[in-house]
Structure 1
Amino acid sequence: MNPPLIVVLNGPNLNMLGVREPEKYGTATLDDVEALCAEAAEEFGLAIDFRQTNSEGELVTWVQECRGRAAGIIINPAGYTTTSIALLDALLLTELPVIEVHITNIHRREEFRHHSYVSKAATGVICGLGISGYALAMRAMAELVGEDED
């Protein structure tokens, strides 16, 4: 039996981790985040599909493809957090557990970052814990997916 597939999606500018505002986002790269997710997935008996895009339409398509394919979604929507109703709608239609992750604490930042459309589809939200938030999301997803199998 194949391990449950968790799709880890990353939105715009996350390909610039390690370069973009290291005082806020740290010096880890997206490759480091992927390695952390792969390690956590292995620890919790999960498979991952890790992706990043700067395109809203591509992100929405990837979310739609999760329906019937994946057991859950971990998403850092980045700039689309506060703007994308299309992403919200796609996440809702998957009917999957969704964990929203942000490297920074969006509630300690500019006012416009405090509202998340994605949170309306999310089972849970992790923010402000740096890239370790992804590993925590993987742990939580393992528990959520395990509950679904029972």
Structure 2
Amino acid sequence: MKLITVLNGPNLNMLGLRQPEIYGAATLDDVEALCAETADRLNLAIDFRQSNIEGELVSWIQEARGRSHGIIINPAGYTTTSIAILDALLIAEQPVIEVHITNIHRREEFRQHSYVSKVATGVICGLGVTGYALAIRAMAGLLADQQDEDA
């Protein structure tokens, strides 16, 4: 069973409480359950984590190299600031899908730039927490295509 690393950045542990009119009522536990159900249906395993600490996210990305087959990341507040996360993803040597609950392109101008997008295979934004399930489905497709190429 292929392993997908799902990483969540700062303040996502407050989903359901933080500005529900923007981010919705789902909690991070709800997101994890959605990811686990989606992955299970696709015969994938997930390693789901959240941190408010940039260095911890970088360490987890480094750990994923050689351990998992793909990374799905919602960098949250680090989207617009973290060159360290960008650099870690560049050396991960696996597909990366960036997820945002809101449409960052319809928000404040400072939220519209993403360092992670520079390395992401794809970006899903604005579809609420459903975007995570879509990212897992997309990752399954990328991994299947990769396997076909390797055969």
Q: Give the TM bin, normalised by the shorter chain.
A: over 0.9
Name the CA distance, whole Å, in 2 between partners of 1:142 and 1:94. Answer: 18
Report deviation, 1:148: 1.4
Report deviation, 1:36: 0.2
Q: Does 1:65 align with 2:82?
A: no
Name the CA distance, whole Å, in 2 between partners of 1:142 and 1:89. Answer: 24
**Where do residues 24-63 of structure 1 align in structure 2 (5 Å cutoff)?**
24-63=22-61
Could you tell me which of 129, 138, 141 is aligned with 1:140?
A: 138
Name the CA distance, whole Å, in 1 between partners of 2:36 and 2:30. Answer: 10
Identity of aligned residues (%): 77
Question: Structure 1 unaligned runs (5+)?
Answer: none
Q: Give 4+ residue runs of structure 1 displaced > 6 Å after superposition.
A: none
- Secondary structure of the corresponding residue to residue 4 of structure 2: strand
Count of residues in correspondence between the two structures: 148
- Secondary structure of the corresponding residue to residue 71 of structure 2: strand
- Secondary structure of the corresponding residue to residue 18 of structure 1: coil
1:1-47 per-residue CA deviation (whole Å, 9 max, x = no partner) reads xx110000000000000000000000000000000000000111100
What's the counterpart of residue 85 of structure 1? 83
- Secondary structure of the corresponding residue to residue 94 of structure 1: coil
Name the CA distance, whole Å, in 2 between partners of 1:133 and 1:124. Answer: 12
- Secondary structure of the corresponding residue to residue 82 of structure 1: coil
Name the CA distance, whole Å, in 2 between partners of 1:95 and 1:62. Answer: 14
1:41-95 per-residue CA deviation (whole Å, 9 max, x = no partner) reads 0111100000000000000000011110000000000000000000000001011
**Where do residues 81-120 of structure 1 align in structure 2 (5 Å cutoff)?**
81-120=79-118
Report deviation, 1:147: 1.2
TM-score by length of 1: 0.98
What amino acid maps onto 1:12 in structure 2?
A: P
